[in-house]
Structure 1
Amino acid sequence: MSDTPQTPGDEPVGHKRVEAAAAALGLPIELVERPPARSLHEAAQLLGIEPREIVKTIVVKRRSGDYLFALVPGGRKISWPPFRTLLGVNKLAMPDAATAFAATGYERGTITVLGATSALPVYADERILHDGGRISIGAGEHGWSAFVDAAEYLAAIGAITADLTEPEDAPQD
């Protein structure tokens, strides 16, 4: 799979698609090219920010077969029991990389709500707003990051905020 997702027709790809989607929402973003990173912690170091300032966009599949986005601050992971309770379901799963690409048009490590090929519901961990300020999100292409104001971003994408995560080192169900 290439580093830059392909879209049909003359639609922009990668970080240009993210930039166009943000502009369509009236959402100011800053795109930054950076060296490739092998992990979230390495990306944070390259960007000169704390890992918690990077917000991961995770594709989640419901038992019914539809998908949603979960926005998770760096250093945290989805806490499945409260997330299932919030959604009123008893089963959620993370699809494989090919399925996540098919659902969003972006490769893992680059996924963002902005410019995704499917309009999916968005759930964001409330800590993203509590920490406030500027966050880094996927920019649709490896070697790129996007910076955006957390509150403006969550409002623009219509995210539902709740307590969805726990520290990465906490046990999972």
Structure 2
Amino acid sequence: MTDVPDTPALRALAALGIDYEVTAHGPVRSLEEAAAERGLDPHQVLKTLVVRRGDGDFLFVLVPGDRQISWPKLREHLGVSRLSMPDKDVARDVTGYERGTITPFGATTAWPVIADRLIVSREGPVSIGGGAHGVAASLHPAQLVEVLDATVVDVTEPT
């Protein structure tokens, strides 16, 4: 394990007083490499995506690593006809994190969180970004959903 940087995400997790484990590793080039470095299966590594609902209106969507957002399902759930993903500069501005490090924990704005239902229906911990490249926190999926006050809904499809 490499040195763990001090990030807003890890400070936010520590302030919650919940059980989690931090992993830190060097650069990875794939989901499979990230999962191996964290001692997990690819479906346990979560992607945190920033989605724009409207002007100045964003949300976080947590997606298992082996899945992708189903835009029709997400639009239906939100009751909107259009969604988009912001470019990297806007994503950084609205979260405080650059792409590849985005997490709801410690973000500059506490946007709503949607967690795909598979996150809580599968066995074992999940790993979410820790606010820096190669840094993650693993915790129980039900606890993740609870502390983020996430809405759990089916919003993904296979990659």
Provide the C-alpha distance between the structure 2 equivalents of 1:110 and 1:79, rounded to a whole number of angstroms.
Answer: 22
2-structure distance, mates of 1:132, 1:150: 9
The Cα shift of 1:107 comes to 1.2
Matched, 1:53 2:44: yes
Report deviation, 1:18: 1.6
The one-character-per-residue Cα deviations of 1:72-116 (angstroms, maximum 9, x if unpaired) are: 001100001111011010000111111111111111111111100
Instruction: Check if 1:125 corresponds to 2:116.
Output: yes
Q: Does 1:150 align with 2:150?
A: no
- d(CA) in 2 for partners of 1:77 and 1:108? 16
> What count of residue pairs does the alignment treat as equivalent?
155
Asked if residue 165 in structure 1 is aligned to residue 156 in structure 2, the reply is: yes
Structure 1: runs of 5+ lacking an equivalent: 1-13, 169-173
User: Which of 15, 23, 26 is the matching residue for 2:17?
Assistant: 26
What is the match of residue 9 of structure 1?
none
Please state if 1:100 is matched with 2:91.
yes
Partner of 1:73: 64
User: What TM-score does the superposition give when structure 2 sets the normalisation length?
Assistant: 0.92
Q: Are 1:69 and 1:123, in contact at CA under 8 Å, matched by a contact in 2?
A: yes
Q: Greater shift after overlay, 26-35 or 128-137?
A: 26-35
Provide the alpha-carbon RMSD of the alignment.
1.3
Shift of 1:15: 4.6
Question: CA–CA distance in 1 between the matches of 2:56 and 2:141?
Answer: 29
Whole-angstrom distance in 2 between the partners of 1:15 and 1:53: 24
Shift of 1:39: 2.2
Q: Distance between the aligned counterparts of 2:100 and 2:17, measured in 1? A: 25
Gaps of 5+ in 2: none
Quick one: distance in 1 between partners of 2:156 and 2:33? Answer: 21
Q: One-letter code of the match for 1:138?
A: G
Encode CA deviations 1:113-157: one digit per residue, 9 max, x unaligned.
Answer: 110011100001000000143111001001212111111011001
